[in-house]
């Protein structure tokens, strides 16, 4: 379930029927979701790969499986989608597209093209050739970095045979060129890889920092995904962009490592997400219905402002109470049994002072009630051993708790 927010998306599941669809749906797992997209001035509509249904109005899917709107996104937009999770996508039979996907600029990157043609002649078929490229990235000294050296006119030549340092765009570009140089249709795909789950709102946050690039190659009438970055830096794929920045953002990393700060940030994001979804769906009919329930038949602007303020305040209170309940420290079973023992002793002698340790309190109880000194001392000794000797297990704690329950002094 995802929300994509602001160049951050947020994604959430839905059950309604979407309004639009595409003519062909490949086999694979279907995923339904809802997205909230911040304005960014382009007409791209973000979706999980291979969208087959969408509710966004005046939107269409291109031959490259890119969902686009008729006009640029200049205001916050919420829509629903359905996508198929699959490793291979259907390919159209348009020969112009195939020709374009195998075309290279004349005179560019001659070393890479010569290398590709030589390697292809040594390979059994196209798939074997592509695997050899991935093997080259894995076995030879290529490095993933966010600060690569500058490249000149023949960028792929310099990257493959000289610098060997770059990020996902470098590796996707090089892989695509090597595929085309061997006569295999290929294209660079840009999208997002990775997300952060917000447990408070139960949605995924996909940020612009999760942007990624990979390659799709046409094999046997299907577009097959290849990610050469994974061959060079699998941790980039597994951990995401932020973890790959090493020491580049130490202050931000330190802030995010704080559980309290991270929890507050996720809480605030959940409030914003809830507000955005409510505002986007808060049309005239919903306004009239809500105000009529409050006894206001003809709501004015002032009524709506007050109602929205009350709703936001209530949402903040609910989130605060949930946070307090969710993260309230809980006593362990051993501590609870010891507090129960002290309460029983306090009822017949005196209460334990906050600064008084277990042994001191046992001695004080023994002086006030010599008849209880032996039983009290044994229970306190057991507690000290379990708490401070590091040997407590579930069975021993349960036996101690049972002994405290049986201890009922007159």
Contact status, residue 377 vs residue 360, Cβ threshold 8 Å:
no
Q: Which residues contact 166 (CB under 8 A, 6 or more apart)?
A: 144, 145, 148, 159
Contact status, residue 70 vs residue 204, Cβ threshold 8 Å:
no
Compute CA distances 217 → 186, 187, 330, whole Å: 4, 7, 54
Query: Which is the catalytic residue, given 210, 212, 269, 342?
Result: 212
Query: Which is the catalytic residue, given 126, 157, 210, 227?
Result: 227
Q: Quick one: which of 321, 289, 330 has its CA closest to 307?
A: 289
Distance, CA of 334 to CA of 168 (rounded, Å): 52
Catalytic, 227? Answer: yes
Query: For the chain, what is the radius of gyration of the CA atoms?
Result: 32
Catalytic, 393? Answer: no
Cα–Cα–Cα angle for 93, 98, 103, rounded to 5 degrees: 175
Query: Which is the catalytic residue, given 126, 168, 170, 342?
Result: 168
Catalytic, 342? Answer: no
Beta bridge partners of 129: none
Catalytic residues: 168, 212, 227
């Amino acid at each position: 379930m995802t929300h994509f927010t602001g160049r951050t998306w947020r994604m959430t599941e839905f059950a309604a029927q979407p309004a639009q669809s595409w003519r062909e749906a490949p086999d694979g797992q279907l995923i339904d979701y809802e997205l909230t997209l911040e304005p960014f001035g382009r007409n791209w509509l973000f979706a999980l790969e291979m969208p087959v249904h969408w509710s966004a109005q005046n939107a269409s899917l291109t031959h490259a499986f890119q969902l686009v709107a008729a006009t640029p996104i200049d205001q916050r937009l919420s829509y629903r989608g359905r996508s198929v999770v699959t490793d291979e996508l259907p390919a159209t039979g348009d020969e112009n597209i195939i020709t374009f996907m195998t075309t290279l600029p004349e005179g560019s990157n001659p070393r890479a093209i010569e290398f590709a043609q030589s390697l292809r002649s040594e390979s059994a078929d196209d798939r074997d050739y592509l695997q050899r490229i991935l093997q080259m990235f894995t076995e030879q000294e290529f490095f993933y970095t966010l600060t690569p050296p500058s490249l000149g006119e023949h960028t792929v030549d310099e990257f493959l045979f000289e610098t060997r340092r770059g990020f996902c765009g470098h590796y996707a570009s090089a892989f695509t060129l090597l595929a085309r140089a061997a006569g295999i249709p290929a294209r660079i795909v840009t999208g997002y890889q990775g997300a952060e789950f917000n447990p408070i709102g139960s949605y995924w946050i996909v940020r612009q920092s999760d942007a990624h690039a990979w390659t799709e190659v046409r094999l046997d009438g299907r577009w097959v995904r290849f990610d050469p970055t994974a061959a060079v830096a699998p941790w980039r794929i597994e951990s995401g962009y932020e973890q790959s920045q090493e020491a580049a953002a130490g202050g931000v990393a330190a802030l995010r490592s704080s559980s309290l700060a991270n929890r507050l940030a996720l809480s605030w994001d959940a409030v914003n997400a809830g507000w955005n979804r409510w505002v986007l769906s808060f049309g005239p009919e919903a306004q009239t219905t809500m105000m009529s329930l409050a006894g206001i038949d003809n709501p004015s602007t002032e009524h709506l402002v007050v109602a929205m303020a009350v709703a936001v305040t209530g949402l903040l209170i609910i989130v605060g109470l949930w946070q307090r309940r969710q993260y309230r420290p809980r006593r362990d079973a051993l501590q609870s049994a010891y507090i129960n023992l002290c309460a029983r002793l306090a009822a017949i002698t005196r209460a334990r002072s906050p600064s008084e340790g277990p042994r001191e309190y046992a001695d004080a109880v023994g002086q006030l009630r010599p008849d209880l000194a032996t039983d009290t001392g044994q229970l306190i000794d057991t507690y000290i051993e379990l708490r401070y000797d590091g040997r407590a297990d579930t069975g021993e704690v349960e036996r101690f708790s049972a002994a405290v329950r049986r201890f009922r002094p007159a």
